Structure 1
Amino acid sequence: MGGGQLGRMFVHAAQAMGYFTAVLDPDEASPAGRVSHHHVRTGYLDPQGLDALARVSAAITTEFENVPAEALARLARTRPVAPGADAVAIAQDRAREKAHFVRCGARCAPHAVIETPQQLAAVPAALLPGVLKTARLGYDGKGQVRVRDAAGLAAAWESLQRVPCVLEQLLPLAAECSVVLARGRDGQVVHLPVQRNLHRDGILAVTEVHDAVLPPDTATAAVAAARDIAAGMGYVGVLCVEFFLLQDGSFVVNEMAPRPHNSGHYSIDACDVSQFDLQVRALAGLPLVQPRQHSPAFMLNLLGDLWLRQGDTQREPDWAALLALPGMHLHLYGKVEARRGRKMGHLTVTAPTVAAARERALQAAALLGIEPF
């Protein structure tokens, strides 16, 4: 379900293991649909399309969390679906997501749900300044407004059309990190190394992964929290849990994604088992094995801005100069139109040492015109 780049990389992983694949997506030029054996070109709630997908599939997964949960529930009547509709429904609603984290014993940022004018008026002053986020359909920084005071909060809620929202208190952040895990139907769990992430304008810009990326105790605690969150949903499949690291050394859970995640893309080139391999295994009921990272890695997101550096005229970056550097692993997603902020591909840089990987990643960033980190 879904034809974007996450689906495309899942399709490649499944095909490498000998599976035939089918993609349901309305866009005839979708990245995953263009490389799959079958492409069902319908909307996500079209009954005939869903039935067509089920007919050619032995099991079904999703590549993004905004696939309607009711579509997954319909498919689950006749085929194994992972993750299940209930888990996806939780991830689709920030209020439900926060409540689930609390039930699982995971610490969240202090927050309040705002669905009515009465709830708006009752927001504690201690939660301000904060970030107002739409409860549904927010991603890559969309549907979020920073607010300083009660008047700003009221204006922000109006600007978001008074849809249900969650207000989160601004905390003194030191860094961001994420945990990508896979959970089987038998409850077995494996995970990738913990990833440290840098966001710009709400979009992931850089992920770095190596032994020294976080203190060992912090990494262990983050993995344990992610495992509890997955177990609390009876989750099956690949799940990413994102965390905010605070200046006092503690962390809070930010959000989760019921699918492979942008921050786990490096695993294709730096691990012996990638997040997409794990997704295939979990869906097919195959054994899960603990991935082993064999090289320090830096992953750079390649946004459409790199194609539009000369104004509105689309122009390919100098891939030849980039690929002349050692340790470059270029992944382009087959999107024909570049737009500012659109994820067009990613670059994973590997090297024998952390210092060498960082140096080469900075060389690549300079060559491409990406801000250093």
Structure 2
Amino acid sequence: MIVAPGSTIGIIGGGQLGRMLAMAAAELGYRCHIFAPDDAPCAAAVAAAHTQAAFDDAEALGQFAAAVDVVTYEFENLPVAPLAALGAKMRPGARSLASAQDRCVEKEFVASVGGRVAPWRTIDGPNDVAAAIAALGLPLVLKSRRFGYDGKGQAWVRDPSEARDAWDAIGAPAGIAEAAIDFLAEFSVVLARTEAGECALWDSPRNTHESGILRRSELPAGDPIERQVGEAQAIARRIADALGHIGVLTVEFFACADGPLVNEIAPRVHNSGHWTIEGAETSQFEQHIRAVCGLPLGSTKRTARQVAMTNLIGDEADDWAAPLAESGTHLHLYGKGEARPGRKMGHVTHLN
């Protein structure tokens, strides 16, 4: 299916990823229509239309789908059944969405295509945490099965006495326990896949997290990441092919002494790919639009020897003047409201 420029792309979700998708789409001649429950999402400020409705509002989704030519989404914590009704008009499809939003399903799926994951156990209550400690040892991390991001819904257990408090802290009716991983570095593979199965991959950045939130992505990634990228890319491609994925897909990895280990999947454009806006010939956002609209994929070649992307979190965005004064620096502010602690308000990319 080819969706020609001049058509309307529906984007489910109104955050910064939807905003940057809409901006990339506009450069290719598309109109965008945002579907989100918020009254003034930051993506709507750069889009042609906005429907304010709950993500599971079947009637509103039907009207939205009728008004657009293709539908995509900017995050995965969405109800699958109502969106599955959009059928082939939604790209990526419902299978990609379902496989990434439940940690148990995700880990079983990754293992089924030959990817390694951390040792883990399902937990449905505090008694299961004790069983997981016996099976996996300490320390371990508890994670909610669903709706976790940026470190939310996670708690560490370093002593058996912490089990109950950790279970209460994740605030979920079901979760998983994961063994702690002795990793050397964190990195991600960001790829785009077309309906025909063509794949394009960007260079993988070294990612640094603080309090569960991505702080910085840097290229070149250096060792040991660069020694493991080939294997990681092969795993990511198998994941994308098995899902029949259309669009950008991101796989986060730990670089370990015995090779790459999959942390999680994001069936969408990703924070660790923001560097591609200035740092690659085709950004992840433009490439996603190309893929979901059936256009040829663009070059992913890096445009600078060194690239670094730093997130602006909370009131850090208030110091917007400083990066504007630096050569080789590009400022992106997301147009959000209150700069709450832990909230991503923008990012800065440095090219050398």
Same fold by TM-score greater than 0.5: yes
Quote the residue 1:30 is aligned against: 41
Sort the Cα spacing of 1:115 and 1:321 in 2 relative to 1 into closer, same or farther, 3 A: closer
Q: TM-score, normalised by structure 2?
A: 0.92
Matched, 1:325 2:334: no
Match of residue 220, structure 2, among 185, 210, 218: 210
Residue-pair matches, total: 339
Q: Secondary structure at the match of 2:184?
A: strand
Q: Deviations over 1:305-359 (max 9, x none)?
A: 325xxxxxxxx31x333222111100000112211111000000001xxxxxxxx
Q: Secondary structure at the match of 1:326?
A: coil
Sort the Cα spacing of 1:139 and 1:58 in 2 relative to 1 into closer, same or farther, 3 A: same
Deviation at 1:119, TM superposition (A): 4.2
Sort the Cα spacing of 1:48 and 1:119 in 2 relative to 1 into closer, same or farther, 3 A: same
Deviation at 1:56, TM superposition (A): 1.6
Deviation at 1:50, TM superposition (A): 0.6
Quote the residue 1:100 is aligned against: 109
**Do 2:130 and 2:163's aligned partners in 1 also have CA atoms closer than 8 Å?**
no
Deviation at 1:67, TM superposition (A): 1.9
Quote the residue 2:315 is aligned against: 305
Q: Deviations over 1:98-152 (max 9, x none)?
A: 0001101101111111125664453234332110100001100000000023442
Match of residue 294, structure 1, among 286, 289, 303: 303
Match of residue 278, structure 2, among 259, 269, 278: 269
Quote the residue 2:173 is aligned against: 163
Write out aligned runs for 1:122-201 (5 A): 122-123=131-132, 124-161=134-171, 163-201=173-211
Q: Distance between the aligned counterparts of 1:283 and 1:11, measured in 2? A: 13
Matched, 1:80 2:89: yes
**Do 1:157 and 1:163's aligned partners in 2 also have CA atoms closer than 8 Å?**
no
Q: What amino acid does structure 2 have at the position aligned with 1:114? A: I
Q: What amino acid does structure 1 have at the position aligned with 2:78? A: V
Sort the Cα spacing of 1:161 and 1:219 in 2 relative to 1 into closer, same or farther, 3 A: closer
Q: Distance between the aligned counterparts of 1:127 and 1:12, measured in 2? A: 47
Matched, 1:55 2:85: no
Write out aligned runs for 1:252-267 (5 A): 252-267=261-276
**Percent identity for Structure 1 against Structure 2:** 43
Matched, 1:231 2:244: no
Match of residue 98, structure 2, among 89, 92, 101: 89
Sort the Cα spacing of 1:211 and 1:321 in 2 relative to 1 into closer, same or farther, 3 A: closer
Higher strand content, 1 or 2: 2
Q: CA RMSD of the aligned region, Å?
A: 1.7
Quote the residue 1:357 is aligned against: none
Structure 1: runs of 5+ lacking an equivalent: 308-315, 352-373
**Do 2:118 and 2:181's aligned partners in 1 also have CA atoms closer than 8 Å?**
yes
Deviation at 1:249, TM superposition (A): 5.4
Q: Secondary structure at the match of 2:85?
A: helix
Quote the residue 1:310 is aligned against: none
Structure 2: runs of 5+ lacking an equivalent: 1-11
Q: Distance between the aligned counterparts of 2:286 and 2:252, measured in 1? A: 21
Quote the residue 1:363 is aligned against: none
Q: Secondary structure at the match of 1:66?
A: coil
Q: What amino acid does structure 2 have at the position aligned with 1:12? A: M
Q: Distance between the aligned counterparts of 1:21 and 1:125, measured in 2? A: 49
**Do 2:24 and 2:289's aligned partners in 1 also have CA atoms closer than 8 Å?**
yes
**Do 2:206 and 2:225's aligned partners in 1 also have CA atoms closer than 8 Å?**
no
